[in-house]
């Protein structure tokens, strides 16, 4: 058994781990070992944005986890892919860049993640980002992460969708990651120079030139090594051989919302009842490990398109070949976008303070795996209720680290979540039936015009919803009985052990999770190094001033700090 010594060991080269590897090595003071179970991200299917459906569904690049039968989804097993490659899930995701609403982070602070309110996290969002249209009070201009709008909404369907939202009485917003999330407008993506700008490209690749960073791929971590209540290193397997690495400072788990709780449990840290059932010795009782699991669901609202402008005309092999060749030669065109170039964030009802429904608009009708939904032109909206109350779990099943954990989200267990999806159906129909869509709107394909009452909508949703691939919150940050890490990201009761990834979110934000995961890692890197945090922002946030009484806008808005 080979043993090596480092200052820090990071488990997982994903959205958070790559950020940490860069920041902890940038001044040359610390030696860092970064362990990743997957391998290289140098594949055209990862780097070409339009190919996003391929790595997500490829075992080489993603853990192909599956949930237990979900009791409130007609016992369907749900697909839960997680990145298994340099860049982690940022190398297999849809590249959508959404920070979440300002109040999501104020909610974190109020739930015990003290210090993680919006004014404190906004500077770290800015630090991470290089926004294609320049920096301001909300956007960064010289960070590692390239963010843009793809092809800048050249297809007319994108703007028609935004205009339909305005026709229906909703706000428009020029920048949902800026002062105002609520409304309809352009969508942003982590693409730079026509390539997927994963954390591997943005953070890890520059850091790999440094002598104080060692990256080991194809390394499956078995457990965190403990000396009493102190983490001292990790045991991992590579090429059939078992190795141990020691950390003089800290071990940091960045294996994601499935991997991090599973690894804690394999190490004997967790709910004693769960550990004992799996035949694992209890080293430290921490009942919240693997609990509080949350995710976003969505379904596709699909329509035929009356004009020959949709991307369905580009799905045959010949057009795909032309798109691919152009991307290889020039890194532009339809190969250089994820095709989600306009979007919307709205509130489902009066009395909801900030948006809880999200739209991704796609000028085509297809499935996530890239298959054509029907012949002819079409468009679709990915719509979901983004502030679920249902909670699930990740539970270790065996002391064997190669055995997948039990995963169950309990999707739609809570009545408020079912009600949210009924709102999705009714509000979307109203939006698409606005004058701005008249020239394009054909027949409703899915759900279908006969799906109208609550019972019909509920039945459709149970069969049609899919994961938006945003598992989170399974090692929540806070101080209550189910908290796993404190507001400094340190595991409660264990010295020299942290978790830094989307698992430590107390609650799931209203939006895609890559941006807040990167922010968490940026801020955690300063906490780990004992650096003075970035000064808080006083940039105002714009919200509807009468949210208690109305579901969509009036003229007045409320500004607060």
DSSP lists the bridge partners of residue 146 as 130
Assign residue 331 a region (left: φ > 0; alpha: ψ between -120 and 50; beta: otherwise).
left
- Comparing 366 with 427, which gets the higher pLDDT? 427
Taking residues 75-80, report their average pLDDT: 98
* Catalytically annotated residue among 193, 296, 470, 492: 470
241-253 vs 269-270, strand pairing mode: unpaired
**What pLDDT does residue 3 have?**
63
Reported confidence tier of residue 369, pLDDT bands at 50, 70, 90: low
Whole-angstrom Cα distance, residue 252 to residue 494? Answer: 12
H/E segment holding residue 80: strand 79-83
Taking residues 370-399, report their average pLDDT: 90
355 within 8 A of 552, measured Cβ to Cβ = no
Token reading at 183 = 């409304």
**What pLDDT does residue 559 have?**
58
CATH topology of domain 2-529: FAD/NAD(P)-binding domain (3.50.50)
Measure Cα distances from 317 to 63, 313, 324, 367, 550 in Å: 28, 11, 10, 17, 48
pLDDT exceeds 50 at position 83 = yes
pLDDT exceeds 80 at position 158 = yes
Whole-angstrom Cα distance, residue 221 to residue 232? Answer: 14
DSSP lists the bridge partners of residue 145 as 129
135 within 8 A of 147, measured Cβ to Cβ = no
What 129-134 contacts at long range (C-beta under 8 Å, 24+ apart), as own/partner pairs, is 130/192
Q: Calculate the CA dihedral of residues 453, 456, 459, 463 and round it to 10 degrees.
A: -110
Judge residue 178's burial from the number of C-beta atoms within 10 Å of its C-beta, 0-12 exposed, 13-18 middle, 19 or more buried.
middle
Reported confidence tier of residue 1, pLDDT bands at 50, 70, 90: very low
Query: Exposure pattern of 45-79 as b/e (b: 16+ CB <10 Å)?
Result: bbbbbbbbbbbbebeebbbebebbebebbeebebb
Nearest CA-CA partner of 104 in 291, 383, 296, 336: 296
Mean pLDDT of the chain: 95
Whole-angstrom Cα distance, residue 365 to residue 378? Answer: 5
Q: How many CB atoms lie within 10 A of CB 427?
A: 22
Radius of gyration of the chain (CA): 23
Measure Cα distances from 303 to 4, 84, 361, 538 in Å: 58, 35, 12, 43
Reported confidence tier of residue 555, pLDDT bands at 50, 70, 90: very low
Token reading at 250 = 């800290």
105 within 8 A of 515, measured Cβ to Cβ = no
18 marked as binding residue: yes
Reported confidence tier of residue 556, pLDDT bands at 50, 70, 90: very low
**Structure letter (DSSP) for residue 537:** P
Whole-angstrom Cα distance, residue 119 to residue 108? Answer: 12
Whole-angstrom Cα distance, residue 494 to residue 374? Answer: 54
**What pLDDT does residue 546 have?**
92
309 marked as binding residue: no
Reported confidence tier of residue 368, pLDDT bands at 50, 70, 90: low
93 marked as binding residue: yes
* 101 is a catalytic site residue: no
Instruction: Tell me the pLDDT tens digit for each residue of 411-458.
Output: 999 999 999 999 999 999 999 999 999 999 999 999 999 999 999 999
**What pLDDT does residue 561 have?**
42
pLDDT exceeds 80 at position 37 = yes
14 marked as binding residue: yes
Taking residues 50-69, report their average pLDDT: 95
**What pLDDT does residue 316 have?**
83
Token reading at 208 = 């790999």
Pick from 168-172, 245-249, 314-318: least confident: 314-318
Pick from 152-166, 199-213, 547-561: least confident: 547-561
Whole-angstrom Cα distance, residue 513 to residue 502? Answer: 7
Give the SS3 label for residue 404. coil
Instruction: Tell me the pLDDT tens digit for each residue of 183-229.
Output: 999 999 999 999 999 999 999 999 999 999 999 999 999 999 999 99
Instruction: Tell me the pLDDT tens digit for each residue of 320-359.
Output: 899 999 999 999 999 999 999 999 999 999 999 999 999 9
Whole-angstrom Cα distance, residue 237 to residue 222? Answer: 7
269 marked as binding residue: no
Nearest CA-CA partner of 74 in 446, 419, 411, 445: 411
C-alpha distance across the termini of the chain, in Å: 55
36 marked as binding residue: yes
Taking residues 131-141, report their average pLDDT: 97
- Helix/strand/coil percent split, the chain, to 5: 30, 25, 45
21 marked as binding residue: yes
29 marked as binding residue: yes
Q: Calculate the CA dihedral of residues 333, 334, 339, 341 and round it to 10 degrees.
A: 20
Instruction: Tell me the pLDDT tens digit for each residue of 477-498.
Output: 999 999 999 999 999 999 999 9
Measure Cα distances from 430 to 161, 162, 244, 267, 443 in Å: 12, 13, 59, 51, 14
Token reading at 171 = 């706000």
Pick from 265-269, 338-342, 554-558: least confident: 554-558
99 within 8 A of 537, measured Cβ to Cβ = no
**What pLDDT does residue 314 have?**
82
Q: How many CB atoms lie within 10 A of CB 170?
A: 22
Taking residues 266-270, report their average pLDDT: 98
Instruction: Tell me the pLDDT tens digit for each residue of 501-545.
Output: 999 999 999 999 999 999 999 999 999 999 999 999 999 999 999
234 marked as binding residue: no
């Amino acid at each position: 058994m080979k043993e090596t010594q480092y200052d820090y060991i990071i488990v997982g080269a994903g959205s958070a781990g790559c950020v940490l590897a860069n920041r902890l090595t940038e001044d040359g003071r610390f030696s860092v070992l970064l362990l990743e179970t997957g391998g290289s991200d140098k594949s055209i299917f990862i780097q070409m944005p339009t190919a996003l459906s391929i790595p997500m569904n490829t075992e080489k690049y993603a853990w192909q986890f599956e949930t237990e039968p979900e009791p409130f989804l007609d016992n369907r097993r749900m697909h839960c892919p997680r990145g298994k490659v340099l860049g982690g899930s940022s190398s297999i995701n849809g590249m959508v860049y959404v920070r979440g609403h300002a109040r999501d982070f104020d909610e974190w602070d109020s739930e015990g993640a003290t210090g993680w309110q919006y004014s404190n996290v906004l500077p770290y969002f800015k630090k991470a980002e290089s926004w294609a249209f320049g920096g301001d009070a909300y956007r960064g201009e010289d960070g590692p992460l390239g963010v843009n709008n793809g092809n800048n909404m050249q297809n007319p369907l994108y703007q028609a969708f935004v205009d339909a939202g305005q026709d229906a009485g909703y706000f428009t917003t020029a920048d949902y990651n800026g002062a105002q999330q609520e409304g309809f407008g352009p969508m942003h993506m982590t693409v730079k120079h026509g390539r997927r700008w994963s954390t591997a490209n943005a953070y890890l690749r520059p850091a790999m030139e440094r002598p104080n960073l060692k990256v080991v791929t194809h390394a499956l971590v078995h457990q965190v090594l403990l000396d009493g209540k102190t983490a001292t290193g990790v045991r991992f397997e590579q090429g059939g051989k078992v190795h141990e690495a020691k950390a003089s400072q800290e071990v940091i788990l960045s294996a994601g919302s499935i991997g991090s709780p599973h690894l804690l449990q394999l190490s004997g840290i967790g709910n004693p009842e769960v550990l004992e059932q799996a035949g694992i010795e209890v080293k430290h009782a921490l009942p919240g490990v693997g609990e509080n699991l949350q995710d976003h669901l969505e379904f596709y609202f699909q329509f035929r398109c009356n004009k020959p402008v949709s991307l369905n005309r580009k799905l045959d092999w010949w057009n795909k070949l032309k798109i691919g060749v152009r991307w290889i030669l020039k890194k532009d065109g339809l190969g250089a976008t994820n095709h989600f170039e306009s979007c919307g964030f709205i509130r489902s009802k009066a009395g909801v303070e900030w948006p809880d429904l999200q739209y991704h608009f796609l000028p085509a009708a297809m499935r996530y795996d890239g298959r054509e939904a029907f012949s002819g032109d079409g468009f679709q909206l990915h719509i979901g209720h983004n502030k679920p109350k249902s909670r699930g779990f990740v539970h270790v099943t065996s002391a064997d680290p190669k055995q997948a954990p039990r995963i169950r989200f309990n999707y739609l267990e809570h009545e408020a979540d079912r009600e949210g999806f009924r709102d999705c159906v009714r509000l979307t129909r109203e939006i698409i039936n606005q004058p701005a869509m008249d020239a394009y709107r054909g027949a409703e394909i899915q759900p279908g015009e006969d799906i109208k009452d609550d019972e019909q909508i509920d039945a459709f949703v149970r069969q049609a919803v899919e994961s938006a691939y945003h598992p989170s919150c399974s090692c929540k940050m806070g101080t209550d009985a189910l908290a796993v890490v404190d507001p400094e990201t340190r595991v409660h009761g264990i010295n020299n052990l942290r978790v830094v990834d989307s698992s430590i979110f107390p609650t799931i934000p209203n939006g895609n999770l890559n941006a807040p995961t990167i922010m968490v890692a940026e801020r955690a890197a300063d906490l780990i190094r004992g650096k003075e945090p970035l000064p808080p922002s006083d940039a105002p946030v714009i919200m509807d001033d009468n949210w208690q009484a109305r579901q969509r806008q009036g003229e007045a808005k409320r500004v607060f700090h």
